[in-house]
Structures are given as C-alpha cells and as structure tokens.
Amino acid sequence: MTLRSFLFVPGDSDKKLAKGQGSGADALILDLEDSVAPARKALARDMVAAYLGTAHAPGGPQLWVRINPLDEGGIADLAGIVRPGLDGVMIPKIDGPADVVRLGHYLDVMESREGLAAGSIRILPVATETAKAPFGIGEFRHHVLPRLYGLTWGAEDLSTALGASGNRDETGGYAFTYRMARSLCLAGARAAGVEPVDTLYVDFRDPEGLARDCAAASSEGFTGRIAIHPDQVAGINAAFSPSAAEVEHARRVLAAFAAQPDVGTVGLDGKMLDVPHLKQAQRVMARHDSHARRG
C-alpha cells in the first residue's frame, strides 16, 4: 500500500496521540526523537508502547515510530516499542544503508520475541540528515532490504551537520545543497524500487503554499509527504492521490495497449504512446486502487 501522508505526533502528548487517530492520515509517526525533550524520552517510550497496544484498528492509520539514532537511545526505543500494532519504524540520522541493515537485524530478533510475523515491520530512513548520508543514497539499490518502505529526507538536521546558518536562499526556497539532497532522495528511492516521501512543509498555516508544493512534488515523482499538523493531512492526501482525470486517462491508456497486446506503440488522442506511458498508467492505477482500499 502506498502511503500519502505521514503525520508526526509527539510521543509524550496524550492529547496529540488521541487526536492523531481522527486526522485522516494514512500513517502516524509516533515520535520519540526531536519533538520529545531528553528528560521525557523514557516516558514517551512507555506512552507510545501503551498506545500501540490500544490504538491499532482496521481501516485506521498505520502506526509508525520514529526512534532515536541507534547509538543514542534507539536500541532501547526498539526494545520498548516492538510489539503488536507497530507497522513501521522511521530511523533518523543514518549514514547509509548499513544502518538500515543493522536496524533490520534488531527487528528480526524483536519480532521473534513478540511472536510477530517475520519482516512485518517496515523501515523508512531519513536519508539525508548527516554529512555522509547523501553520498550513500544511491547505494540502497545494491542492498536486499525487504523491510524498506521508502526513503525520505530532511533539511534541518542536514544544515546542522554541515555547519550552515540556514538552508534557504534569497527567494525563500531551499538552497542548492538541500535541493540536491531532495533530488538524490527521489532518484535513490526509485533506483531502489521503493517509495520517495517528501519532507515536511514548515508553515502549517499556509494551506495554499502546501497545496502548490505538494502538487509540484507529486508531479516530480514523490508519492507521499510528512505532515507536522493535522490541518495539513487533507491537502497532502489530495495532492498525492491521482485526480479523476488522471485515472480516466490511465484507464484509456491501459485499454489501448490491451486492445493491441503485440505492439509497442499505440495511438491515443492523436498522440503516439509507448512503453513508458504504459508503465506510468499502471503506476497511476496502482496508486488509485491502493488509496481506494483505504476509503
């Protein structure tokens, strides 16, 4: 299933945890990292573990947890939160695929401990948050990582890692280094055969800007986005769902190729279409069907 929206929820807030279920997000990311003060991390871990045991419901959002980096409390996080109800783990500040491989080994053991189906917990790395990380994004295609759902990126921690005073240029958009990291995330995910997930849109009070930014991201090839406020979810879901016109066009493309199964090109509306158009139509319909199953 392709997930359009991942809503961050601080793991130490009962109010926000309760509100997340009704947000309409495809997935909640219960956060144990940056949104939780160091003194409250153990409490947040216990709260998230309890929430996982009670909140998972058919038709509701998937439940993911952003752990801390593995060597900065992440292993203790895993020990506390791997249990029935956990759909996936977001791992921050990786240097490359080796960190995901390591996380997968821990999950193998902990799934066995809990009697969970092997490989049932997926992984979404934040693939650009250290100075080393951008150089390794292309290496994901060389690793067998069946748990890997996709790749996402982030600009805030990357600017800290690079010693930058900011990550925006004079126009207000991301500076070149951060646009490059975003593009590497997109291409790296596609090369690895997983989903590219765009980073958050900071201003949750700007729905028009969010809509424009999501439309651009979707047209580039991203299939979902992180949200930092429930008010962003509906706009993200709309932008990353194929429109009625796109679905109708995809159906017509598929029908045209189905009618001539032995040819590599077909004509439609005065245009010649070939195999890339067929694959794009198949991708649109797969996304449409995935989202339709969620209702």
Q: Which residues contact 156 (CB under 8 A, 6 or more apart)?
A: 167
The closest alpha carbon to 124, from 63, 55, 47, belongs to: 63
- For the stretch 19-75, pLDDT in tens is 888 899 999 999 999 999 999 999 999 999 999 988 777 778 999 999 999 999 999
Residues 64 and 87 sit within 8 Å (Cβ to Cβ):
yes
In words, the CATH class of domain 5-239 is alpha beta
What is the rounded CA–CA span in Å between residue 241 and residue 239? 6
Encoded tokens for 178: 């951060």
What pTM does this model have? 0.89
- For the stretch 199-230, pLDDT in tens is 999 999 999 999 999 999 999 999 999 999 99
For the chain, where do the domains classified as CATH 3.20.20.60 start and end?
A: 5-239
**What residue type is assigned to position 53 of the chain?**
G
Other CB atoms within 10 A of residue 101 CB: 15
What is the rounded CA–CA span in Å between residue 289 and residue 283? 10
pLDDT at position 138, please? 97
Other CB atoms within 10 A of residue 117 CB: 7
Position with higher pLDDT, 182 vs 258: 182
